[in-house]
Amino acid sequence: MKNLLIPMAGKSTRFPNLKPKWMLTHPMTNRFMAIESILGLNLDFFDKIYFICLEEHEKKYKFLYGFLDEINELNLGNKTEVVFLEEETKSQSETVYNFLVKTKVDGFIFIKDSDNYYECKVDSTNNQVAFFDLNDLDDINARNKSYLEFDLNGLITNIVEKKVISPTFSVGGYGFSSATDFCETYLKFIDIEEECYISNLIFDMILTGKSFYGLNVKTYKDWGTLESWNKYKSQYKCLFVDIDGTLVENSSVHFPPYVGSSKPIVDNIQCLNHLYKMGKVKIILTTSRPEKMRDATIKEMKDNGIMYDELIMNLPHCKRVIINDFAKSNPYPSCDSINIPRNSNNLTEYLL
The residue ranges of every structural domain in the chain are: 2-228, 236-351
Give the per-residue pLDDT at 142. Answer: 66
What is the distance in angstroms between the CA of the first residue and the CA of the last residue of the chain? Answer: 49
User: What is the pLDDT at residue 351?
Assistant: 84
For strand 108-112 and strand 116-119, is the pairing parallel, antiparallel, or unpaired?
A: unpaired
What pLDDT is stored for residue 74 in this prediction?
98
Amino acid 12: pLDDT: 63
pTM equals 0.90
Predicted confidence at residue 260, as pLDDT, reads 81
Which pLDDT belongs to residue 259?
A: 83
What letters, b where the CB count within 10 A reaches 16 and e where it falls short, cover 206-241? beeebebebbebeebbbbbbbebbeebbeeebebbb
pLDDT of residue 175: 98
The predicted pLDDT at position 254 comes to 84
The pair phi, psi for residue 83, each rounded to 5°, is: -110, 130
Collapsed DSSP state (helix, strand, coil) of residue 116: strand
Q: What DSSP string describes 132-168?
A: EEGGG-SS--GGGSEEEEE-TTSBEEEEEESS-SSSE
Which fold is adopted by the domain 2-228?
Spore Coat Polysaccharide Biosynthesis Protein SpsA; Chain A (3.90.550)
Rg value, the chain, Cα? 25
Please tell me the CATH superfamily of domain 236-351, with its number. Answer: HAD superfamily/HAD-like (3.40.50.1000)
Give the pLDDT of residue 297: 96
pLDDT of residue 192: 81
Residue 2, pLDDT score: 98
Q: What is residue 13's predicted lDDT score, i.e. its pLDDT?
A: 65
Q: How far is CA 57 from the centre of its chain?
A: 21
Cα–Cα dist 95/20, whole Å: 15
- Strand pairing partners for 119? 218
pLDDT digits (tens, 9 = 90+) for 270-290: 999 999 999 999 999 999 999
11 Cβ contact list (under 8 Å, min separation 6): 88, 90
Checking phi first, is residue 156 left (phi over 0); if not, alpha (psi -120 to 50) or beta?
beta
172 — phi, psi (to 5°)? 80, 40
List of the chain residues with pLDDT < 70: 12-14, 138-142
